[in-house]
Structure 1
Amino acid sequence: MAILHNRISQAELKKLLYRETEQRTTISFYHYFTVADPKQFRDELYKALNELKVFGRIYIAHEGINAQISVPETNFEALKNYLNSIEPLNGIRLNIAVDDDGKSFWVLKIKVREKIVADGITDPNFSMAKKGNYVNAVQMNELLKDDNTVVIDMRNHYEYEVGHFEKAIEIPSDTFREQLPMAVQMMQDKKEQNIIMYCTGGIRCEKASAYMLHNGFKNVFHLQGGIINYVREAKENNLPGKFIGKNFVFDDRLGERITADVIAQCHQCGLPADTHTNCKNDGCHLLFIQCDTCATKYDGCCSTQCQTVYNLPAEEQKELRKGIDKGMMVFNKSKKRLRPRLDEMNKK
């Protein structure tokens, strides 16, 4: 019987990744289509991708597939051929990372979920069959010239904070499921205007465009392939890039540099910075923006409290972590919640 999970520790797997000599390519892709048996599809995918030495994170649901992976360069064509052998995925667009060191993932995880992107939609009449029109980079730039065009960022605050399109409106909520009804509410007086929705790779804005149409909006577009594909197309067509700053990504890199602009600030000192990091204290792991100076000052921690814990002996740290509710320590996506949280911690 084939092994459909990893038997090596995460730490050892990461060490093995960094010992690899062949370059890897980081890729993301998604597709909304009906999956009759997600578990069976998951098992088939795992066996095939594991043979190709693919690492990454893939979600399977009845509504489709959502994947962020890396593959050795010599297996890239074999991966494409395998995906093309699956009828609904034949010809699927593969978004290749912009700023890639090939060290984005070190293990393959394929999970069955209720949905490939959690949306909170309970209306039985909602369907992905009717969605907004795709726009490519050329069309995006043309629409951005029109003052009547509304550009909506369907990503979380920490993504928007480090980089976004010119004129983009942030939907200031903690989750995609909260953003959908909020976007409808915020745009009620713009139902006749051109509305472009975008996200990292296209999966969220595609569903958001369908949701807007479902709620009576008329001229809804979504950026084909998201920011990743836009940057590639803009370069290929020698277009002026309208995305500024960094593109946050959900892998070990935590960001792709798109332009030299630094539009965010260090969450500790307030100076210009856009490098996301996780607090080094294993009892915290808060995701926040930290400049090089504060990284040195606080030993990569989010607060003096965490710095103190981080510098304790390992066994003592382990004892302190017992019973900690890490849910209180995770990154708050809402800008209004994040700053007071860090201020509070730095006072201790």
Structure 2
Amino acid sequence: MPETAPSPLITNIAAYQFATLTDLKSLRERLVAQCKAWGLKGTILLSTEGINLFIAGLRPQIDLLLAELRALPGLESLTPKFSESADQPFRRMLVRIKKEIIAFGVEGIEPAKYTSPRIEAKTLKQWLDEGRPITLLDTRNDYEVKLGTFKNAHIIGVDSFRDFPEAVRRLPEELKQQPIVTFCTGGIRCEKAAPFMEREGFQQVWQLEGGILKYFEEVGAAHYDGECFVFDQRVGVDPALSETESTQCFVCQSPLTEEDQKDSRFVEHVSCPYCYKTTEQQMQENIAARHAAIRGATTPLPGSVPYDHEQPLNVPEACDGRTLLETLTTVLPHVPLAELQSRFENKRILNQDHQPVPPHHIVRAGERYLRLLPAMVEPTVNADIRLLHEDEAIIVLEKPAPLPMHAGGRFNRNTLQYILHQVYQPQKPRPCHRLDANTTGLVIVARTRHFAGNIQTQFAQGKVAKTYLARVHGHPTADSFHSEAPISDVPGALGSRDVDEDQGRSARTEFRVLRREADGSSLIEARPITGRTNQIRIHLWQLGHSIIGDPVYLPGQAVGDTQTLDTESDPLCLHAWKVTFTHPLTKQSAHFETTRPAWA
């Protein structure tokens, strides 16, 4: 078989020229058409201050483009830097019009009118061979420098060339009297960097003619370590101007040497030594972003802006066959009859089709109706939610107070669950257990229904160890004690519960005195073995040591008339302090602990 002729090498050129260009739109259209016709790819930047280009293609077509450009007034001396590659390093052909051909953002720096003295590559090598006392200033971005730079060069330390002016102002004052040679990839940045430094008071500034690429072309690797980053798919070229094995990280775009690619932290399309983060580091970054999102979702509080709210009402079995008005008086005993009648008159009691329903309508158990609450504004809450842990399965957070967990009563949007839904959407995180609105501390939240079911089962089976802190009235006589008082399952006024020795549900809480205070209070550690509503509060109340700040279970076995505290009230001194459970994903024991509140 006849041998296949080798594919011709691709010629790569990089060039720029500061000159006054006009009629940029028509020039752009002409260059786009010509470059595409000639099979060229790359980028040409046009500006009223000149041209900057990186183009690749076959040499005859490259020569046609250069002839076309040199025919333009001001570009007669356009001098490119050449290199060759086996493959086309660009994906497409772009011609763009920009304010500057190299973004700098400083007025009054005009290379077409003035540039600093230039130093040829061979002269610089001679100076370095002689050991002259000069400072080589690398004006490139930090990520470019990773692939290589001149030996003993001063790295300016910028992420973008626009940061260069401020970086120059941070240079040591003594450098202003010393000879400085600025350099970059091809020289274009130094056309602005060096004059700017002169304007800032640096007295001996040169710019390396043609940059690193011209230096490689004329003198090779002398006094240079590594390779040179280039802005195309080659990523890096060596002092022979040949493409290297360097690549770029898919995630952070950092250039990576062969050595970088051997690092255990380099995983293609996932991470590299420069962007790799441990699980803990990544989680902390995620949490910081979530905290910002929480602030955004709660400023202002979502329930502080008036809105029309439809509150559902399910007909209980006991109300089957009654009128809707009778049902409402049963289900909502705290709402005056006159107010309920007014809601019917104003057509604010609706069926599921959003049609008004009369008060004499007969209801059936299980049916659902809606109470329309127009222009609803919810009470203010404390939304300073602090995340402690987040992974694919769970969120562990510290709930502030007052903040209800779920919608109910006067609260719908100013709740923990609503706020989390806004922050994590389209996910709808589910709290796996309850804390009273006035209780602070740890809450476990599942990110999916599956994980919620796993953790809720652990709670139901008593496999979750919970420890609370409580500040109580009085000094218990024993250092350790417990309560097994059964707790009613039927809510009383304001949803409160009571001890019910006959029909109450079994409950057990173990207590330990941590500290007895001189003011007559005590700091208690509470471990609920079961999980009844208000269990810790009721057991301490029943034992004669009600929790300080509790608006419901008052000293002397009294019951208060306030359910949820306002943000100005003294706090309920009950805090979910520690929790241990089995992680639903890893199946390992997970333990979390918060800092103690100020009152503890």
Q: Report the TM-score when normalising by structure 2.
A: 0.42
Displacement of 1:186 after TM fit? 0.3
- Asked if 2 retains the 8 angstrom alpha-carbon contact of 1:58 and 1:65, the reply is yes
Aligned in 2, Cα 1:346/1:109: closer, same or farther, shift over 3 Å? farther
More helix as a share of residues: 1
1:89 deviates by 1.5
Q: Secondary structure at the match of 2:78?
A: coil
Cα distance in 1 for partners of 2:87, 2:157 equals 32
Deviation at 1:286, TM superposition (A): 4.2
What pairs with 1:127-146 in structure 2 (closer than 5 Å)?
Answer: 127-128=110-111, 129-144=113-128, 145-146=130-131
Give the match for residue 85 of structure 1: 71
Tell whether the 8 Å contact from 2:11 to 2:57 is kept in structure 1 after alignment. Answer: yes
CA distance in 2, matches of 1:197, 1:56: 27
What is the match of residue 188 of structure 1? 173
Q: CA offset at residue 208 of structure 1?
A: 0.4
Q: Could you say what the CA RMSD is over the residues aligned between the two structures, in angstroms?
A: 2.9
Higher relative contact order (CA 8 A, sep 6+): 1
Write out aligned runs for 1:282-301 (5 A): 284=251, 286-289=253-256, 291-294=260-263, 298-301=267-270
Aligned-pair CA distance for 1:194: 1.3
Post-superposition, which runs of at least 4 consecutive aligned residues in structure 1 deviate over 6 A? none
2:279 and 2:39 map into 1 onto residues whose CA distance is: 42
Q: 1:81 to 1:301 in 2, by over 3 A?
A: same
Counterpart residue type for residue 94 of structure 2: K
The reply on whether 1:120 has 2:105 as its aligned counterpart is yes
* Offset at residue 251 of structure 1 (A): 0.4
Q: TM-score if structure 1 supplies the norm length?
A: 0.70
- Residue 156 of structure 1 corresponds to 141
Q: Choose 20-29 or 285-294, whichever is displaced more.
A: 285-294
**Maintained 8 Å contact 1:24/1:72:** yes
- In structure 2, C-alpha distance between the alignment counterparts of 1:137 and 1:286, rounded to whole Å: 30
Deviation readout 1:193-234 (Å, 9 max, x if unpaired): 211000001111111011112222222111111111111111
CA distance in 2, matches of 1:45, 1:127: 25
Q: Deviations over 1:304-330 (max 9, x none)?
A: xxxxxxxxxxxxxxxxxxxxxxxxxxx
1:23 aligns with 2:6: no
Q: Tell me which amino acid in the other structure corresponds to 1:178.
A: D
State the shift of 1:347 in Å.
6.1
Other-structure match for 2:90: 105
Alignment counterpart, residue 277 of structure 1, candidates 248, 254, 273: 248
Secondary structure at the counterpart of residue 343 of structure 1: coil
- The counterpart of 1:255, out of the listed 231, 236, 246, is 236
- Aligned CA distance change for structure 1 residues 275 and 201 (closer, same or farther; 3 Å): same
Residue matched to 2:25: 39
Contact 2:38 2:61 in 1 (8 A): yes
Paired residue secondary structure (2:137): strand
Which structure dedicates a bigger proportion of its chain to strand?
2
Alignment correspondent of 2:200: 215
Instruction: Give 1:297 deviation, angstroms.
Output: 7.3
Q: Structure 1 residue aligned with 2:38, among 52, 57, 66?
A: 52
Residue 295 (structure 1) shift: 8.1
1:302 aligned to 2:276? Answer: no
Report the count of equivalent residues.
271
SS at match of 1:342: coil
What amino acid maps onto 2:116 in structure 1?
G
User: Is residue 40–residue 56 contact of structure 2 (8 Å, CA) maintained in 1?
Assistant: yes
How far is 1:84 from its partner? 2.1
**Whole-angstrom CA distance in 2 between matches of 1:171 and 1:274:** 26
Structure 1 unaligned runs (5+)?
A: 1-19, 260-272, 304-337
CA apart distance, 1:44 = 2.4
Q: Identity of counterpart residues, as a percentage?
A: 24
**Partner Cα distance (1:206, 1:297) in 2:** 36
The residue that corresponds to 1:342 in the other structure is 276
| DSSP 3-state at the match of 2:46 | strand
**Which is further off, 222-231 or 50-59?**
50-59
Q: Confirm or deny: 8 A CA contact 1:294 1:300 kept in the other structure.
A: no
Distance 2:264 2:24 in 1: 43
Unaligned segments of structure 2, at least 5 residues: 1-5, 283-600
Matched letter for residue 343 of structure 1? K
Look up the equivalent residue of 2:127 and give its one-letter code: L
1:294/1:164 CA distance change after superposition, 3 Å: closer
Q: Please say which structure displays the higher CA radius of gyration.
A: 2
Q: Is the 8 A contact 1:100 1:256 kept in 2?
A: no
Q: Is the alpha carbon distance of 1:103 and 1:126 closer, same or farther for their aligned partners in structure 2, counting shifts above 3 Å? A: closer
CA distance in 1 between partners of 2:172 and 2:265 (Å): 44
Q: Where does residue 242 of structure 1 map in the other structure?
A: 223
Deviation by residue 1:29-78 (Cα, 9 ceiling, x = unmatched): 01111122322222222223223221101111111111111021232332
